[in-house]
Amino acid sequence: MIYLQLFLAFLQIGALSFGGGYAAMPLIQAQTVTEHAWITFADFADLVTIAEMTPGPIAVNAATFVGNRVAGIPGALAATAGVVLPSCLFVTGLAWLYQKYRSLTLMQGILRSLRPAVVAMIFGAGLTILIPTLFADGTVRFLAGNFQVRAALLFLAALVCLRKWKLNPILVMAGCGAAELLCQLLL
């Protein structure tokens, strides 16, 4: 039964996560943390970190992580199959439609109108990850001990490294990990 639940939950995520992995994060959180309680919110933050730093699509990595955590390797396979199946079907159908109708003005207008929605979904996913990273209790309140100064400094340093200096994201993640390790050893 759990395999079917994993498959169906991630099938839903795969079918509705337009815009890629970051846009899928709120859906993954809703299914895995809120609806099924397979993982905690803290586990979800770890899941995002692990899914981001491992090779492959974020939604696939997240499905594999959650499936494995909930039901071992068969659970990982069920969740991964669920999240991948809609994309395979949609992309095949869309490729055929695009090839047939790509010159239509209507098709170009539809694609243009989807871009702001995708950007909003990615922004929402970023906030979903950023807030519990910067605030210990997961709510935006500047109380004593709630705001994580070191996390904020690492975030700003990473942002500058990525945007201004265009450093490789892997190097930035490794640098942030090394900085945190150094802080843990020294403090």
Q: What is the pLDDT of residues 71-121, one digit of tens each?
A: 999 999 999 999 999 989 988 998 998 888 888 888 888 888 988 988 888
pLDDT at 166 over 90: yes
Task: Give the pLDDT confidence score for residue 129 in this predicted structure.
Answer: 84
Q: Could you give the CA distance from residue 64 to residue 146 in angstroms, rounded to a whole number?
A: 32
Task: Kindly give, in sequence order, each residue whose CB lies less than 8 Å from that of residue 161, ignoring residues fewer than 6 positions away.
Answer: 167, 171, 172, 175
Phi, psi (degrees; rounded to nearest 5) at 135:
-125, 120
pLDDT at 159 over 90: yes
Q: What average pLDDT score do residues 3-13 get?
A: 97
Question: pLDDT tens across 25-80, in order?
Answer: 889 999 999 999 999 988 998 898 888 888 888 999 999 999 999 999 999 999 99
Q: Could you give the CA distance from residue 115 to residue 72 in angstroms, rounded to a whole number?
A: 37
CB 115 within 8 A of CB 101: no
Q: Could you give the CA distance from residue 59 to residue 13 in angstroms, rounded to a whole number?
A: 8
pLDDT at 23 over 80: no
CB 47 within 8 A of CB 68: no
Closest alpha carbon to 19 in 120, 142, 151: 120
Task: Give the pLDDT confidence score for residue 165 in this predicted structure.
Answer: 97
In angstroms, how far is CA 102 from the centroid of its own chain? 30
Q: Could you give the CA distance from residue 178 to residue 42 in angstroms, rounded to a whole number?
A: 21
Question: pLDDT tens across 140-149, in order?
Answer: 888 878 899 9
